[in-house]
Each structure stands twice: as structure tokens, then as C-alpha cells.
Amino acid sequence: MTAASSADPGALYPDHLAALCRHADEALARGGFDHLLVPSGSLHYQLYDDRDYPYAVNPQFKYWLPLTRLPDSWLVYTPGRKPTLIYHQPFDYWHVVPQAPGGWWLEHFDVHVIRTPEQALPLLPGPAARCAILGEAQSALGEYIPNNPEAVVQYLEYRRSYKTPYELALMRQAQRLAVRGHRAAEAAFRDGAGEFDIHMAYCAAVGQDANDLPYGNIVGLNEHAAVLHYMDRDTSAPAQSRSFLIDAGASACGYASDITRTHARDRGGEFQAMIDAVDAVQQALGRAVRAGTDYKRLHLDAHLALMGVLKDFGVLRVSPEAALETGVSAAFFPHGLGHPIGLQVHDVAGFAADDRGGRIERPPGHPYLRMTRVLEPGMVVTIEPGIYFIDMLLEQVRRKGHGDSIDWDRVETFRPCGGIRIEDEVLCTDAEPENLTRPAFAEAA
């Protein structure tokens, strides 16, 4: 285990909290407010039903506290004062309620335990008009209605681009958890399991399910690997499992990992060779995550490198540059190279030109890119190039008159395997980039 990976989040937390207080001071000054209020959010119910959706904590709340299952609670911050946590611990014999407050964060807060959501009201600072309240509409309590002031939100979201050592420690933990699942999932695939059972093997190894995972697992065998967000899970195994794409992460105190691997049944076959080629492209792009590099440029470089792979495998008949120019490359690689990640799997501020709400647009023709910024130290981004054989998109290539760019017999060779994606998280530093994912696999091996 490396020094970085064994770092104790608790020891790093005071500095993280101090940074947050400074950010909140600046955000409140910009917005002209006296207090920052962040409700943790509340349960959402299904229509005409008493079933709740999995609770998702307000990301602005878990920025402050490693508490992801504490609905109807409030973070209160006033510059110069110790932050307050209004901690909702209801009397309830139907459900498990949050435990009494405790943990590495406790000494840094004034904590008030409440038993009903309304008991928060007299504890909130006034007047309400002087409060920046960051949350969803249904968190409103009396006059305390979330106003999400633009200046405050923009500033705090922008700051989230630069991870503190505490955040990086938790993100490394999220990598290690997900890697356990990926290893169990690959073993299940090699044993011939179907998608549902592979998914269950993943969840069991990670110890997380829909309530905790940062996003729904993508577990696709064969042609299903060509559906970018394949969320169905066949309960029976196919007669023959040729290929397996798994895009699955884990959470650590609310921080996400987002990892994709693709496997071939036949380790000596052409599809495995193509996986290896995409893997090499992915690693090269990861090494290019350097301060001063424009992520938009990396995305276009990914197109060229992936088209180089398709050329080498005889799928593409034109140059990578020509394929990028005509839009043929987007038929094989129809998503963005990646996105910022942190408290949210698709984290905020990927388009931010500055901390006041300016926006950097995507390059024309690349509507799904989620990160358009120049990389800076402290940013964590995913690098997730892919090649897919998607009937709908290939048909569009033909219709647009570019059918000659492609060797269709070669497409037929790879189509039964669906597609390939390889995804890691990479930290931009002021020197070499740090791949957060690969060491977790190496440690586990």
C-alpha cells in the first residue's frame, strides 16, 4: 500500500473543513449573505405510493460532512463561527434511524439533535433573507426556502474542481472498493454467469447496492456492450458469452469512483487484441492529464487514436483525420472522453470558464463532452475512450454517404462483441499525473 493510499481521511479532515470555511466566506461575500444553510435533503416518494426512492444526499451537504444518510438535517455556517450541524435523529420504530452523532468530524461542529424536521426551525439563523440556502425546493422550512444564489453556487461548485487531500483519500478508498467488485465480476463472467448474477457478485464484493453505489451498474454481455448505458440485466446467461463490459463504481463517504473494463472470453482472439489496443490508447491519454492541457484537445486526440486502432484492425478505410472530419469517428466513439468526478460521478464545473458562472462551450459536433476546461492541479477526471459497433449509428454513416469509409465485413466480425470501453480516474498534479485506478487493481492482484 502506498503512503497516499493509506492516508487517514480523519487526519486530513480539519484542513478540508478549514478550506471549505474559507470558500464559504468568499461565496457569502460575493452573494451578499450572512449565513450559509445547506439542508441535507429529504426522501422522495413514488407517485400515489408510500415507497421512497433511494435517498440521495445534497452534494453541497456531503462536501462538509461524511454523512450520506441523514435526511432532514442542516449544515449552518456563519463566517467566523464554528459550523453547526442540526442532526435529525427521529424517534421511529419502522426504520433504522441515524446513530447518535459521532466520528472524526464531530469535534468541529456544534451539534443539535432534533427529533422532527420542524425542530430545525428555531435553530436556523435569521432573518431568512440574509441566508444563502443551497438545496432542493422540498427542503423548504417556514421562511427558509432554498434560494440557491447564483454567485454562491457558482463559486462553491468551482472550488469543488480542486480536490483536497481529504477528498483524494476518500476517492482512493472508492477506487479500492470498486476494484473488489470488478475482480468478482470478471470471475463471475469467466464462470459463465449471466448479467444479473454478475451484477450481484459485484454488489456483494463491494458491499454496496442501489442505495450506495454512485450510479447504476452497467453490466453488458456480447451485443449489450454496445448500449452505452445498458441498465437491463438478463437473468439468464447467454448460450455463449463472448465479451463483457462493466462500468461500475463505488462510494466512500459520498465520493464516487467510476471504472470501466472490457473482457473477452477468448484471450487469444482478435477482440482481446482490440481491447488491448484501446487500453494502450487509454493509458496514453491518462498520461496526458497535465496542467495546462486543454481537455477538449484530449477528447479530439482520443478520436484520432481510436480511429488509428480501427484502421489497424481493418475496420476503417480512411485516415483517422478524415474520419474525424466527416463525423465517422463519432459513430464508433459517440460519447465524451470523460468528465470531472468527485462528490458526484459527473461532477460539477466541467464547463466553468471561471468561478462566476462563465461557460466554455463544447467543440461543434461533440455534444456529449462533459469537460471543456484546461486541466489544473487538483482536478480529477475520468479518461474513458471507447469503440462500439452500434447499428443505429453505423446506419447513419451509410445514409450520410460515408459508407465507403468502413469495411463492413470487418464490422460484422466485431459486432457480436458489442463494444469496448476502458475507464480510469486520473488526478492532475503540477508534475506527473496520478492514475487513481490502476494502483488499486495492482494492489488487489
* Residues in contact with ligand GLY by the rule CB under 6 A: 215, 247, 258, 384, 423
The C-alpha cell at 390 is: 452500434
Please list every residue from 259 through 288 that binds Mn ion, using CB under 5 A: 260
Please list every residue from 365 through 384 that binds Mn ion, using CB under 5 A: 382
User: In angstroms, how far is the first alpha carbon of the chain from the final one?
Assistant: 12
Which residue among 72, 157, 223, 247 contacts Mn ion (CB under 5 A)? 247
Give least dist CB 151 to ligand GLY, A.
29
**Residue number with CB closer to Mn ion (249 or 320):** 249
The residue type found at 9 is: P
Angle between helices 165-190 and 9-31 (to 10 degrees): 120
**Residue number with CB closer to ligand GLY (85 or 246):** 246
**Residue number with CB closer to Mn ion (42 or 437):** 437
**Residue number with CB closer to ligand GLY (149 or 350):** 350
Burial class of residue 376, CB neighbours in 10 A (0-12, 13-18, 19+)? middle
Which residue among 167, 197, 258, 434 contacts Mn ion (CB under 5 A)? 258
Interaction partner, residue 73 (Mn ion, ligand GLY, none; CB < 5-8 Å by kind): none
Alpha helices (H) along 242-388: 270-287, 295-312, 320-326, 328-332
How far does Cα 438 stand from its chain's mean position? 17
Four-point Cα dihedral 326, 285, 371, 41, nearest 10: 130
Interaction partner, residue 437 (Mn ion, ligand GLY, none; CB < 5-8 Å by kind): none
DSSP 10-29: HHHHHHHHHHHHHHHHHHHH
Give least dist CB 189 to Mn ion, A.
17
Q: Is the dihedral of CA 381, 386, 391, 394 positive or negative?
A: positive
**Residue number with CB closer to ligand GLY (317 or 366):** 366
Q: How far apart are CA 242 and CA 246, in angstroms?
A: 14
**CB-CB contact of 85 with 109 (8 Å):** yes
Interaction partner, residue 215 (Mn ion, ligand GLY, none; CB < 5-8 Å by kind): ligand GLY
Give least dist CB 56 to Mn ion, A.
18
**Residue number with CB closer to Mn ion (219 or 397):** 219
One character per residue 328-367, x = contact with Mn ion (rule: CB under 5 A): ----------------------------------------
* Site of interaction with Mn ion (CB under 5 A): 247, 258, 260, 382, 423
